[in-house]
Amino acid sequence: MTLRSLILEMRSRPHRVVHDLAAAAAAADSTPGSSQDYRWSDIPEELLREILIRVEAADGGGWPSRRSVVACAGVCRGWRLLVNETVAVPEISSKLTFPISLKQPGPRDSLVQCFIKRNRITQSYHLYLGLTNSLTDDGKFLLAACKLKHTTCTDYIISLRSDDMSRRSQAYVGKVRSNFLGTKFTVFDGNLLPSTGAAKLRKSRSSNPAKVSPKVPLGSYPVAHITYELNVLGSRGPRKMQCVMDTIPTNAMESQGVASEPSEFPFLGTRSTFSRSQSKPLRCSSSHLKETPLVLSNKTPRWHEQLRCWCLNFHGRVTVASVKNFQLVAAAAASGGGGTGLSPERQNERIILQFGKVGKDMFTMDYGYPISAFQAFAICLSSFETRIACE
């Protein structure tokens, strides 16, 4: 069995049997008269790295061909470490490969094209990665969210699995919570461990490890705040919104700026949407960000005299007029681009997130650096809220 045939077999098999498949291939390749049995795990690291680089380069950059890369990462720990070195983060490659890619910033020079499907009956929302330029392709499932109404607020629970929306599940990613009026929203990251709580967690585990289960998310911590201004025109006028990204500094928008890039997804079980991974919690001092947090605001639409409506240029990605449609840019762009290192013209063109309607229950969501797919999805979920001040 050749390496190529092994990878083809791995595409259609669960990750838990990939290691057994590799062992079987090694046994098949060995001959009775050989002095030493050959195993896939014995491949020299330099040769294995070259093989994985070629697999990464030959997949075409999209799904389902990227299953080969994920399959390689499921062979064993050594292969997984080399795959992590080979596969570039979305900021550089514009590719979403592993679950952690959903928490990493998008590309700097382009937008990742996604779309959201809404189910009015179940009050659920599903995020898909667009596989083609068409607005009607099936897409690759990324995240799911469900709406839970309470007496004084509304929660949107975000999960890696559409059939598991429990906050105590390994698939739990985070949530979005609104106030009673629907004017303010808080985005919570369910996998974030602030530095202030890291010491307490380590102390708790050392004193009584049985009380802390690594299979259960540690909690939810605020990573963004979204505010909608009161709209005196109701549904006839454009919305005004502002997003404060608590974990992203303003200088991240500079040419040499850096946004946080978690490298591992904590508490992810074997039933992962992308791959298998176990790691330590993400750590970020969201409440002690020394720099000024990045503020995003919606791009002001222009009134079109002939069409008699408010208009934004979505470059063909939005086809239905809706009060929910918006484009987000850095707040400095709206005031002339000061402090970002870019000219006002260049800064105003830099769309970080755009969201718009293309069908009755279909919406496009395109995002880029410095926000992640999770953060973009959470912001877009706030636009679906139809309380007093938002419609």
Of 121-125, 315-319, 362-366, least confident by mean pLDDT is 315-319
- Rg from Cα positions in the chain: 23
pLDDT tens by residue, 299-349: 877 777 776 677 788 888 888 888 888 999 998 654 444 444 444 444 446
Report the alpha-carbon distance of residue 69 to residue 336 in Å, rounded.
43
Question: For residue 309, what are its two tokens?
Answer: 């409506």
pLDDT at 129 over 80: yes
Distance of CA 173 to the CA centre of its chain: 10
The pTM score is: 0.77
pLDDT at 91 over 50: yes
Burial grade of 243 (CB within 10 A; 0-12, 13-18, 19 or more): buried
pLDDT at 64 over 60: yes
Please state whether beta strands 282-283 and 192-193 pair in parallel, antiparallel, or not at all (unpaired). parallel
pLDDT tens by residue, 27-41: 544 445 444 555 666
Q: What are the C-alpha distances in Å from 3 to residues 29, 45, 97, 102, 126? A: 11, 15, 21, 30, 36
Confidence of residue 142 (pLDDT cuts 50, 70, 90): very high
pLDDT tens by residue, 242-255: 999 999 999 888 87
Compute how many other C-beta atoms are within 10 angstroms of the C-beta atom of residue 140: 18
